[in-house]
Amino acid sequence: MDALVTDDYYSLSLAQVGLAALLLLINVALSIGLQLGLTRSLLIASVRMTVQLLLVGLILEWVFALRSPLPVLGIAAVMATLAGVTAAGRTHLRFAGMYWDCLLSVMAAAMLVTGAALAGIVQVDPWYNPQYLIPMLGMVLGNILNGINLGLDRFTTSLFDRSALIDTRLALGATRWEAARSEVREALHTALTPAINSMLVMGVVSLPGMMTGQILAGAAPVDAVRYQIMIIFMITAAAALGSLGAILLAYRRLFNARHQFLKHRLEKR
């Protein structure tokens, strides 16, 4: 493959990517020189990253050529499932039904926000156009995953550590909601803090990857910025919705209708 110069865009050939791989030698040299013992994992990680991305490139090429909604939705569902499973798989404590709760929250939040953006704001035609749906969904899912993971981890850990306090509240006549309210609030706070922090420094400390990508691909910076702003609002809303859903579903599993806190349902991994 030769390097192609399109209208306003330099395409990369495989040979050029190979040249870029030489940059890895800096890391390898550092690892060997300072005896960091990271050479092996660096190489494995680099190979994995390259293979995964090349495969995704092939799949996306195929997906973008699709002209019917079902396969696109199928891929979206696979992405959402992976996000849900990952969100549930990375907390310190777990409880029965957690995977389903995370899956449901991820699906609902992602569908609502991505759907609203595609059909309502950008008004893509057709609405399932994979060139828009897949990247947007990907960004939304990544942030829901983080939000749920942080929020759920905080929620279950606080309940576990403060079980005596929760029981005291219940014993004094609190309803289950009154007993868990401050823990729910704290967990949501934890889930949303990274999204709020990143908005605060956006464009000043960090240049978002999507915007940079669009600019590299030849979009006008003002245009790229508008897209980025929309995406940030989308991912913040989706993270809030997803983590709220997961936390409330967890609350329903850990407190029964008899206003009892079922601490024994929480297990350490």
Partner 1 sequence: MKPTPSTLTATSPAGPQAPGTQRNAASVLLQAQNLGLQDQGRWVWRRLELAITPGERVALTGPSGSGKTALMRALAGLMPASEGDILFEQRRLQLWPMPQYRSRVGYLAQRPELGDGDTVEAALAAPFAYRSRRHQACPHQWIQHALEMLGRNSHFLQRRVASLSGGEQQITALLRLLALQPCVLLLDEPTAALDARSARDVEALLETWHGEAPDRSWLWTSHDGAQIERMSTRTLELPWMP
Contact segment (CB under 8 A) with partner 1 among 44-52, 98-106, 162-170, 246-254 equals 162-170
The answer to the question of residue 259 lying near partner 1 (CB under 8 A) is: yes
Helix (H), strand (E), coil (C) string for 78-124: HHHHHHHHHHHHCCCEECCCHHHHHHHHHHHHHHHHHHHHHHHHHCC
- Residues with Cβ within 8 Å of residue 94, at least 6 apart in sequence: 88, 156, 266, 267, 269
The answer to the question of residue 171 lying near partner 1 (CB under 8 A) is: yes
Report the residue number, 41 or 168, with the smaller CB distance to partner 1: 168
Among 35, 173, 205, 269, the residue binding partner 1 under the rule CB under 8 A is 173
- CA 43 – CA 191 distance, rounded (Å): 33
Report the residue number, 193 or 256, with the smaller CB distance to partner 1: 256
CA distance from start to end of the chain = 49
The answer to the question of residue 252 lying near partner 1 (CB under 8 A) is: no
Closest CA to 175 of 262, 266, 261: 261
Site size for partner 1 (CB under 8 A): 19
Among 165, 199, 225, 229, the residue binding partner 1 under the rule CB under 8 A is 165
Decide: helix, strand or coil at residue 129.
Answer: coil
Query: Which contiguous run of DSSP H or E holds residue 135?
Result: helix 130-161
Among 73, 174, 219, 229, the residue binding partner 1 under the rule CB under 8 A is 174
The answer to the question of residue 186 lying near partner 1 (CB under 8 A) is: no
- By CB under 8 A, the residues from 188 to 247 that bind partner 1 are none
Among 76, 141, 145, 170, the residue binding partner 1 under the rule CB under 8 A is 170
What's the closest the beta carbon of residue 38 comes to partner 1, in angstroms?
44
Contact segment (CB under 8 A) with partner 1 among 27-35, 48-56, 61-69, 165-173 equals 165-173
Q: CB burial class (10 A; 0-12, 13-18, 19+) of residue 209?
A: exposed
